[in-house]
A and B are shown apart, each in its own frame.
Chain A
């Protein structure tokens, strides 16, 4: 620890304003502040500050997604780890490049995007596509808007939709059958390509044909699907943690799930043949993962507390509508993106209403 500290201190002059490597300053600073707490002091009141910072905020999200990641590795093999590394490497290069060009600090938000991305992809997707997707997501979904905090879309989602629309056959051909044994895929070797892997239909596709998979398989995640979204158990574990520590907005999650389940119940009551029951729709596909980890992204969701209700209701309702009445079997992804688009509008309405109240108070 001390050695590391003195090493960093020795290197510091190189990266400072007049140093030889001053252009790479953001990289050094990111490493420095990763290992040791930021050295800045307060200059104005309040002179003491809350210990929560963006680093911890983002690392809590990663901790919450860990159970889903572990479930993905268990059911779909160590290849998931490989896709994660590719996602971090490719996305990280874009993030660092932009930080260096803009002469800004490297932002922690990327760590979450890079972690979520492989989990919302079919587990057998070729690695180069993973890289292409994450690069597109980070570049177009985030950097062109000015980086973390200024993006209007969830970057991981942008990457996912790019792949879904740009490489539809690769995406639909990359589903892997989950492991069934006691040890899952933990003991099998890493496969770079999955040509030999058995591809099969996801629960939602099967449901279109009238087959509902057993609830226990869905709950544990022993079904085909995007790497991280299959295990309800893992998502709930992480999601509840996220709500307890207060990082995810419970309003968004509750609103999505209620509107999704409510509309689903009504539709199932009216058209039992076309719409699957609530328990199935809730546990199959990406709605839970989306509700807990994607829609709650604070930057791309509405910033007002009451706006989050409207946002959640919108996403939940659109998801079930797309699932039931469109050519797509899964609607969570598009619904969240649509929610992202509407978020500033929702905010505007909430803020205008508030402004009227402020005018009264004055």
Chain B
């Protein structure tokens, strides 16, 4: 399978592939607003809960999603700047296997499986091509395929290989359950680096007779992990998919949690996260309980008052899509798999544009690091250049995975013609941020696109509202 464009910057601070188990901290913090969902607490302030008890609920088109407790604890409701969260004072570190009902892949009904996944907190880890986000719980148009993605290329998200090695059995168990969510003869599409690697063969043997499995090998180029890019690539590679066939996607950690939930009766209670980047002094993978504060992910050196203090901005997610998280109140949530430590603004380098650049890597092969293969050690929160008008260099077009021409969109938006921008495919943008990352003129393309899309959405809503009120009026007059 091929994708258009794409680019994975080579950055120093790649997490090591062993997974370190972190001890359970005294207090866990759960945010009640994640992934576009807003959870309402169903526990009282000060109430004691057991591992796996439901803490909060969110309504999703067609049902209720629950947020299970990752540990036995005493709950405190917190409201901070209008954002609600729960603090859990851990009383017992143990997990309870079989807290929920255990199932066999052959015996479970689709209905029961959906309920179990909604209760175990795993449903929000699915993505549907129909909604563009979480699939509705009562979705009647079943997916023709579910993509299980084992490739995460953005620096530095928890690597699929690391998780596969760590939780093979749970992942295989999870994949065995997946066909229950599909239409009859639907397929599981597994994304790996190489189709003939031993992992694919092992998986093939382990899944024989349980699921119709297809393996795809993809290049290690960001943003291949984007479900929209993946589903488009699969549609292109397989002509049996029709335009309106629904495809779902879930990543390898989601399948692991699904396996644990259905086969062992466990809720979603832990995540493997990659703590890396040039600002982290010992980048590694960590297995943490959901709600673990970000401070626990720092190495001793990074902590306030530690040895050398390289001030870092901590990004939740990878380098390109990550958003800053508060280093004091931030905590690992149910869909996190990466925390990128980006050094805060470095000193201003003397005639930096004339240096050969052994410590910098760029999309264009114009730094000396391209010869030595060295990673970028210089990346920081600096913009690394001045804002300039677009020089039409075309780098954004060559990198765009959605085959858009970002500079044309920018041109249209610059002269405020939303209509033209919409026609030029603005809504097909997958928000990967790659164009903004590589733009030599340092234009905030992603921000501009997001704002424009929001504006277009509002306009469409207004038009729809106007149209409906008009038709109402017509009815009244009749």
Contact = CB atoms under 8 A, between A and B. Distances in A.
Bind each other: yes
Interface of A: 1, 5, 33-57, 59-60, 105, 107-109, 146-150, 244-247, 249, 298-299, 301, 303-305, 347, 351, 354-355, 358-359, 361-362
B423 A54 contact: no
Nearest to A304: B405
Contacts of A304: 394, 397, 405, 408
Interface stretch (B43-51, B165-173, B187-195, B358-366): B358-366
Contacts of A49: 379, 382-385, 436-437, 442
B222 to A, nearest CB: 11
Contacts of A56: 353, 366, 385, 440
Contacts of A5: 348, 350
A206 to B, nearest CB: 38
Of the listed residues B388, B405, B424, the one surrounded by the most CB atoms of chain A closer than 10 A to its CB is B388
B383 A244 contact: no
B228 to A, nearest CB: 11
Given A35-B350, A36-B348, A54-B441, A47 B342 contact: yes
B114 to A, nearest CB: 29
B361 A51 contact: yes
Given A149-B389, A149-B392, A245-B364, A50 B424 contact: no
Interface string B409-448: 0000000000000011101100001001111111010110
A-B CB proximity, top 3 nearest: A53-B385, A149-B389, A358-B425
Contacts of B444: 43-44
Interface in B372-410: 376, 378-394, 397-398, 404-405, 407-408
B351 A35 contact: yes
B378 A51 contact: yes
Contacts of B394: 249, 298, 303-305
B392 A303 contact: yes
A254 to B, nearest CB: 15
A45 B320 contact: yes
A41 B353 contact: no
A305 B408 CA distance: 12
Interface stretch (B64-72, B130-138, B321-329): B321-329
28 contacts: A35-B351, A37-B353, A42-B383, A46-B322, A46-B446, A47-B324, A48-B319, A48-B381, A49-B379, A49-B385, A50-B437, A51-B360, A51-B385, A52-B363, A55-B385, A56-B440, A107-B388, A109-B391, A149-B389, A247-B364, A298-B393, A298-B394, A299-B392, A303-B397, A304-B397, A347-B408, A351-B408, A355-B424
Interface residues of B, number: 68
A37 B446 contact: no
A47 B315 contact: yes
B390 A40 contact: no
Contacts of B276: none
Contact of A298 (B315, B391, B404): B391
Contacts of B345: 39, 41
Contact of B440 (A54, A105, A299, A301): A54
A45 B446 contact: yes
Given A149-B390, A305-B394, A358-B428, A51 B342 contact: no
A351 B424 CA distance: 7
Contacts of B437: 46, 48-50
A245 B365 contact: yes
B330 interface: no
A204 B405 CA distance: 41
A304 B406 CA distance: 10
A66 to B, nearest CB: 13
Given A55-B353, A109-B391, A149-B392, A303 B440 contact: no
Interface string B335-375: 00000001001001111111001001111111100000000
A44 B378 contact: no
B362 to A, nearest CB: 4
A39 B380 CA distance: 12
A303 B424 contact: no
A55 B365 CA distance: 15
A50 B362 contact: yes
B385 A38 contact: yes
Given A44-B446, A246-B365, A54 B388 contact: yes
Interface string B209-223: 000000000000000
B439 to A, nearest CB: 8
B9 interface: yes
B387 to A, nearest CB: 7
Contact of A51 (B357, B388, B408): B357
Contact of B438 (A52, A109, A146, A305): A52
A308 to B, nearest CB: 8
Interface in B176-197: none
A42 B313 CA distance: 11
B424 A354 contact: yes
Given A49-B383, A49-B442, A149 B320 contact: no
Contacts of B380: 48
Nearest to B278: A48
Given A305-B394, A305-B398, A41 B348 contact: no
B399 to A, nearest CB: 10
